[in-house]
Structure 1
Amino acid sequence: MKVGRDKRDSRWDAHREQRRAALVGSAIGAIRRHGAGIGMDEIAASAATSKTVIYRHFGDRTGLYTAICESVAGVLLAEVRRATAAALADSGRGPRAAVAAGIDAYLRLIEIDPELYRFVVQRPLLTQGTARRSPATDGGHDPVNDLVTVIGDEVAAVIAGNLGDPAPGETDRRAAARIWGHAIVGLVRGAADDWLARPDGTPREQLATHLTDLAWSGLSGLASHVQEVHP
């Protein structure tokens, strides 16, 4: 028999979610002001509360880190989707423009929020003090890898959607689209991390162009190769 929740408990769910969202927003603001190496004391002070209250909502610092990553992931994924969809909707542009738009959307977040990006990918909050843990080593999901996977799947879908149907007897190129999509994301992330760690004055637009040229040269060459080998 299904037992219903006490209404006195469930009616506070919306309030708890609002409070969690407010704490995440406050933490993100604190990261922007103080840098990726921010500690829990600074995060709590920025929220005008205590670490005990934060842990009550998130369990521990890993829980807070995960919630921040999920918030950043939501924004980034929405921007990548918006940028690629807009490019594909323009009949005068095409799939190459969609790849370029997705790459630029990723780089734009880093340019606008470098400290927040460092906080997410370098996990400094999880290596402070005695809390040398990560979601992956704790048996939970890793929000950074989850984000990379989702974006890779998005890019793969764009590629697959523009390859067309295979000819009779031809290997389905869409099966390779997943590999290509995730390879592009790895390419962009590696270059972006280096761009942030060792700035040399390269503008975001130029970096996006270089990465698009490299990615598209590979994609167009591979697609052509598959068609030739499997006529």
Structure 2
Amino acid sequence: MTTNGKREAVDGRATRWDGHKARRRAEVIDAAIAAIEEHGVEVSVRQVADRLQLPRPVVYRHFEGRADLDEQIRRRILRSLLTQLMPTLDPNGTVHDAVAKAVGAYVGWVADHPNLHRFLSDSAPQPDSALTSARNRIGGRLADLFTVGLTRFGIDPAPARPMAFGIVALADGVVNSWRADSSSTLTSEQVEAMLTESVLALFEGNARSLGVPLARDTIVSELLTRTETAALVDR
């Protein structure tokens, strides 16, 4: 076998091992999430290893330590949440419908996965953490939508970003407080209704202060069409 042939054989084996390692990492993360869902956030690596029938050192072999494992778990949880939430940030129907759909997706996910939400909430967000990245992605999407709307009305879009991230912070604050209060008797439906009304009030108040004719029963697509039409007439 030539030197090149030997190198190709070694590289091929390395590639196969890379695939195996990636699958094993995914299996560990899946097992950890299942354990958190079932037992709560205080899950040990031994519990994860037992679910996979593996020695504990094998679990650690695929991560840099417990902090790295926890961060990868958070990334997977947030990916699942964003898969459900991001499509709702493309507004359809009335303003009320659009807000209610997005709020409902978030509160519904939290209600269905209380332990996963607590696992996320118990972590202190760092500038480069998965949690910070997810919030930035959601806030950024809202900011883009608000920027488009304000620009089409000929209004300085500078308020778009703080408005968007203010809504994200409001939603986080309401839901986190609800889930942290073990004595709360509020149902997910009540929290969803309260948060929807709060976000709508912010929309209406900010729109009024900026001179945007927006109400909760405004159909989003018609609002944008009217805006574009008005801009053409003014030219």
Does residue 192 (structure 1) correspond to residue 197 (structure 2)? The answer is no
What is the alpha-carbon distance in structure 1 between the residues aligned to residue 101 and residue 143 of structure 2?
14
Does residue 215 (structure 1) correspond to residue 220 (structure 2)? The answer is no
Amino acid at match of 1:220: E
Equivalent position of 1:224 in the other structure: 208
Q: 1:182/1:95 Cα in 2 relative to 1: closer, same or farther (>3 Å)? A: same
> 2:125·2:131 contact (CA, 8 Å) conserved in 1?
no
Amino acid at match of 2:77: V
Q: Secondary structure at the match of 1:221?
A: helix
Unaligned runs of 5+ in 1: 124-133
What is the alpha-carbon distance in structure 1 between the residues aligned to residue 114 and residue 148 of structure 2?
32
Seq. identity, %: 28
> 1:26·1:46 contact (CA, 8 Å) conserved in 2?
yes
Residue 113 of structure 1: CA displacement?
0.9
Deviation sequence 1:150-206 (CA, Å, 0-9, x none) = 221122233334445143xx4x23x32211111111111111111111142212122
Q: 1:155/1:217 Cα in 2 relative to 1: closer, same or farther (>3 Å)? A: same
Matches within 5 A, 1:60-99: 60-85=65-90, 88-89=91-92, 93-99=93-99
Equivalent position of 1:117 in the other structure: 117
Does residue 160 (structure 1) correspond to residue 147 (structure 2)? The answer is yes
Equivalent position of 2:227 in the other structure: none
Equivalent position of 1:103 in the other structure: 103
CA RMSD of aligned residues (A): 2.4
Residue 115 of structure 1: CA displacement?
0.9
Q: Which has the higher helix share?
A: 2
Structure with the greater alpha carbon radius of gyration: 2
Matches within 5 A, 1:2-21: 6-21=11-26
**How does the TM-score come out when normalised to structure 1?**
0.79
What is the alpha-carbon distance in structure 2 between the residues aligned to residue 73 and residue 118 of structure 1?
12
What is the alpha-carbon distance in structure 2 between the residues aligned to residue 80 and residue 71 of structure 1?
14
Residue 224 of structure 1: CA displacement?
2.1
What is the alpha-carbon distance in structure 2 between the residues aligned to residue 27 and residue 222 of structure 1?
43
Residue 135 of structure 1: CA displacement?
7.9
Larger deviation: 24-33 or 214-223? Answer: 214-223
Query: Aligned residue pairs: how many?
Result: 204
Larger deviation: 200-209 or 188-197? Answer: 200-209
